[in-house]
């Protein structure tokens, strides 16, 4: 497999101008991929957490991070914050608007087995501290999953990913380490399983967004045992149902490819602009991996 250099550049995408701009790199995190970036909207603070320099198919150790950086959009400046104790990559992050804190889930550990993690971390920006809530029922540990924040229900929705445990999946009629279950999490209620097996292909390393108008999770692409996927699926929290879309999406591409097409979806996919970057509105650059969170202004 090829290997690419990682860089530490922050890009803004303007929807109105359909144009990109480069922001300050002074004090920015070290170059990396497989990290997360999440926005604290009222304060316009972007939080970049963990990730690493290890190639996605490598089992090398000592190449993952546990650091946390904040980027002030208005001031165009970076600040290093308190790190967590456990390095990780391919995890998820959402901003809990109810308690004003960042929630981290899962990922892979910095060991040669790339052990999947199943812990929940919470970061409080007011005190610049981390905590690890105690939970009872919980999903199988995993990496390469997706998570979104449902403002109405004040819960994190988490779906898919790849684990160390094989589970028989009726949608594909085989035992798989790729998952298509869906869970909700909140600090008060803990984990609640919403969907045991979804009506869509299990997958990892996909991308997802939350549609607040229809209260639906929309997810696209990813990888399965058979290869890369170009399908989209939906989960509606209103009807508690999921289905896989039949409309053709962008041609599936391997995560190592240098993506240069920018798409939007509105009943169909439309190519907006060719650019030598990943498909993101605001992102902390990750040349090798295409799963960072999309952030809108």
What's 281's DSSP letter? S
| Matching residue, tokens 């400046």 | 77
pLDDT of residue 280: 35
What parts of the chain have a pLDDT lower than 70? 1-3, 248-297
Which pLDDT does position 172 carry in this prediction? 93
| Closest listed residue to residue 78, CA positions, set 15, 129, 39, 28 | 28
Domains contained in the chain, CATH given: 10-284 (2.120.10.80)
> What is the distance between the alpha carbons of residues 30 and 37, in angstroms, rounded to a whole number?
14
**Residues of 40-49 as b/e, b for ≥16 C-beta within 10 angstroms?**
beeeebbbbb
Q: How is the beta sheet containing 19-22 ordered, strand by strand?
A: 19-22, 10-14, 282-284
CB 249 within 8 A of CB 207: no
Rounded to whole angstroms, how far apart are CA atoms 209 and 190?
Answer: 22
Chain-centre distance of CA 248, in angstroms?
A: 23
- State the pTM of this model: 0.85
State CA 279 to chain mean position distance.
Answer: 13
Looking at residue 257, what is its pLDDT? 37
Tokens, residue 152: 């109405």
First to last CA, the chain: 36
Other CB atoms within 10 A of residue 33 CB: 25
Query: What length does the chain have?
Result: 297
Distances (CA, A) of 96 to 58, 131, 197: 33, 14, 26
């Amino acid at each position: 497999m090829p290997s690419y250099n990682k860089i530490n550049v922050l890009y803004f995408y303007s929807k109105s101008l359909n144009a990109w701009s480069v922001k300050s790199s002074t004090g920015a995190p070290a170059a990396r991929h497989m990290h997360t970036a999440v926005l604290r909207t009222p304060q316009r603070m972007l939080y970049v957490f963990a990730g690493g320099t290890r190639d996605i198919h490598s089992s090398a150790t000592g190449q993952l991070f546990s650091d946390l950086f904040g980027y002030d959009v208005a001031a165009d400046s970076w600040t290093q914050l308190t790190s967590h104790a456990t390095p990780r990559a391919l995890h998820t992050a959402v901003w809990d608007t109810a308690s004003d804190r960042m929630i981290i889930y899962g990922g892979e550990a910095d060991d040669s087995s790339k052990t999947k993690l199943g812990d929940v971390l919470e970061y409080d920006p007011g005190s610049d501290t981390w905590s690890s809530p105690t939970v009872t029922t919980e999903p199988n540990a995993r990496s390469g999953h997706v998570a979104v924040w449902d403002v109405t229900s004040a819960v994190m929705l988490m779906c898919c990913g790849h684990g160390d445990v094989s589970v028989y999946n009726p949608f594909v009629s085989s035992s798989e380490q790729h998952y298509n279950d869906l869970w909700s999490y909140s600090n008060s209620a803990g984990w609640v399983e919403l969907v045991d097996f979804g009506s869509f292909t299990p997958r990892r390393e996909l991308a997802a967004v939350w549609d607040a108008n229809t209260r639906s999770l929309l997810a696209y692409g990813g990888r399965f045992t058979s290869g890369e996927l170009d399908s989209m699926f939906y989960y509606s929290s209103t009807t508690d149902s999921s289905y896989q879309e039949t409309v053709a999406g962008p041609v599936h591409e391997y995560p190592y490819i240098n993506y240069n097409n920018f798409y939007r979806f509105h009943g169909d996919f439309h190519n907006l602009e060719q650019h030598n970057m990943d498909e993101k509105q605001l992102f902390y650059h990750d040349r090798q991996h295409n799963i960072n969170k999309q952030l809108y202004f």
